[in-house]
Structure 1
Amino acid sequence: MTNQIYPCLWFDGQAQAAAKFYCAVFKNSKITADNQMVVTFELNGKKFMGLNAGPQFTFNEAVSFVVDCETQEEIDYYWEKLTANGGSEGQCGWLKDQFGVSWQIVPAILPKLLSDPAKAQKVIQVYMQMKKFDIEKLENA
């Protein structure tokens, strides 16, 4: 497929600041083009566009970005970075960053834990009590 599909994020004049922030959080990331209206950037090789628009539209949880994490250290890192400077914690691995963008910081092992019929209900009960995921607690459920 020659046509790339990528998200365009509508910001109230903060597209450049957001792109710089995300590129600092995610390794292997870079800003690829920038002008007053639009900034394009890559996070771990995935293309994004930030649009400097206005206050007409804001982000909500209907769209979120999922970050699969192999270790608790990765979960802790992304949770800390993305909730800093005015971000907020949500339930079950969800958070909003300082720009209002929703993220899900998820342990990569979660689908495996949920696919085990003997453990799935216990795992769900445990993670429903969490904000930031704790891999050890999920494994021990």
Structure 2
Amino acid sequence: MTSVIPFLWFDDAAEEAVTFYTGLIPDSEIVSIGRYPDEVPGLGGKVTHVHFRLAGRDYHAMDAGPQFPFTEAISLYVSCADQAEVDRYWDALTADGGEEQPCGWLKDRWGLSWQIIPDRLVELIRHPDPGISHRAVQAMLGMRRIDIAALEAAAAAQ
């Protein structure tokens, strides 16, 4: 059976990042960690491969140096049920050097991009009334962390 699994290249913090991610997101775990032998110059003891699960989905990661940093071209999308969930993920992922980005996007302290998106935002921007959809999109464009109450107010405005 063929499977497609995202693979994350870290400079030198794969284990730290994966430990953080699996502690933050429910139904997550580290499955296995492999390390470079101590004899490998500059890489001894670093992670060659870590297999982990986030919200039940498989991922792989490694430490391989700074040649290929993360970009916004790839992000992890977190679908949130309510504002409390948005706030929990946002606060945790922007802590210790993370960066807020527009429209519900952020970069964590390792430079990986995330989208922290409440389900209600998706409902509003897909609303069959184009006025509601437009107002919700316009409100979102002015936000960093998505504020569901502000979205609701904007969508309801005439």
Which TM-score applies when normalising by structure 2? 0.86
Once residues 139 and 131 of structure 2 are traced to their aligned partners in structure 1, the CA distance between those partners, rounded to angstroms, is 14
Distance (Å, rounded) in 1 between the aligned partners of 2:64 and 2:5: 18
1:17 corresponds to: 16
Give 3-state SS (helix, strand or coil) of 1:103's partner. strand
Name the % identity: 42
Alignment of 1:1-141 (within 5 A): 2-36=1-35, 37-116=48-127, 117-141=130-154
**Letter of the structure 2 residue corresponding to residue 93 of structure 1:** G
Unmatched 5+ stretches in structure 2: 36-47
Instruction: Give the total of aligned pairs.
Output: 140
Question: What displacement does 1:62 show?
Answer: 0.5
SS of equivalent residue, structure 1 residue 34: strand
Taking the aligned partners of 1:118 and 1:126, their CA distance within structure 2 comes to 12
The separation in 2 between residues aligned to 1:118 and 1:46, in whole angstroms, is 37
Task: List runs of 5+ in structure 1 lacking aligned partners.
Answer: none
User: Using the alignment, how far apart are the partners of 1:133 and 1:111 within structure 2?
Assistant: 11
Give me the whole-angstrom Cα distance separating, in 2, the residues matched to 1:26 and 1:69.
11
Q: Which moved more, 1:70-79 or 1:121-130?
A: 121-130
Using the TM superposition, give the Cα deviation of residue 131 of structure 1 relative to its aligned residue in structure 2, in angstroms. Answer: 0.5
Superposition CA RMSD, Å: 0.9
How far apart are 1:118 and its partner, in Å? 2.2
Which structure's CA Rg is the greater one?
Answer: 2
Please state whether the residue corresponding to 1:118 is helix, strand or coil. Answer: helix
Which one has the bigger helix percentage?
Answer: 2
Q: Matched residues in 2 for 1:136 and 1:75: separation? A: 12
Structure 1 length as normaliser, TM-score?
A: 0.96
Aligned letter for 2:153?
N
Q: CA deviation at 1:111?
A: 2.2
Opposite residue 140 of structure 1, the aligned amino acid is A
